[in-house]
Amino acid sequence: MSLAFVKYHGTGNDFIMIDDRVQNFEHRYAHRITSLCDRHTGIGADGLILLQNSDDYDFKMVYYNSDGALGSMCGNGARCIVHWAKELGIIKEKTDFEAPDGLHQAWFDKDEVVLAMADVRAIEANAYGIFLDTGSPHQVCIEKRLEGLDVTGKGRTLRYDVFGKEGANINFVAPAKDGGFALRTYERGVEAETLSCGTGATAAALAMHHLSLSSGPIVVLKTLGGNLKVSFDFSDGLYSNITLTGSATAVFNGLWL
């Protein structure tokens, strides 16, 4: 049986999107996620996202990493599924939806999707920089420059040797020449550098503020796939009203045979 899909990307972070409102994907196809995401013999993607019905909200987002494992929150993927939900007529300009880390709100600002993120209080300094959880665990490492950095090699070492089997996403941040910060990310589950990471951009923005390297409350992160904007409020050690803003682009649709 063929499988209909849509290919999306959010600033280069790409996803296979499946309309699973009848909820038969996990029964029939879950064992083939790695094949679907393979860039040589499949569709190719950093991850796969199911759009399912929700009992209480507009829809439910289920995220799989390209290695076939259920993933934690994916900020870029969430922005993409919100864009697609509008194209499907499920939502209009605003939405409340279920994601891997709980309820999220999102809305449109012209051509971009604005995603409300969960509050963050726990930020830990360690020998490698800053660790925090923005729906997914992130290590933020401060660099003088990112050009020539072995993101995959250094990222894989930290991901496994420091954080063990469960791992963490590893972000490398440096001041950008024309303002904001340059960001490159090694993602667990993909086990490689991706062109962009939404929860990583959020983590980097909060880490820069925490270290007094950014005054906030709006931080621009420049990824290999494009710019992401993170805004937030900060009071009494709590980061709240966090939003992640960026593009979400439909690339093509098709049938996987």
The set of catalytic residues is 74, 197
Task: Count CB neighbours of 245 within 10 A.
Answer: 21
Look at residue 84 and give its three-state secondary structure: helix
3-state helix, strand, coil in the chain (%, to 5): 20, 45, 35
Q: Is 84 within 8 Å of 125 (Cβ atoms)?
A: no
For strand 169-175 and strand 137-142, is the pairing parallel, antiparallel, or unpaired? parallel
Q: Which of 142, 129, 150 is nearest to 182 (CA)?
A: 142
Q: Which of 90, 84, 94, 82 is nearest to 4 (CA)?
A: 84
Q: How far apart are the first and last CA of the chain?
A: 7
Distance CA 185, CA 137 (A): 12
What is each CA distance from 12 to 76, 144, 192, 248, in whole angstroms?
9, 24, 14, 9
Residue with tokens 């076939």: 68
DSSP 85-120: HHHTTS-SSEEEEEETTEEEEEEEETTEEEEEPPPB
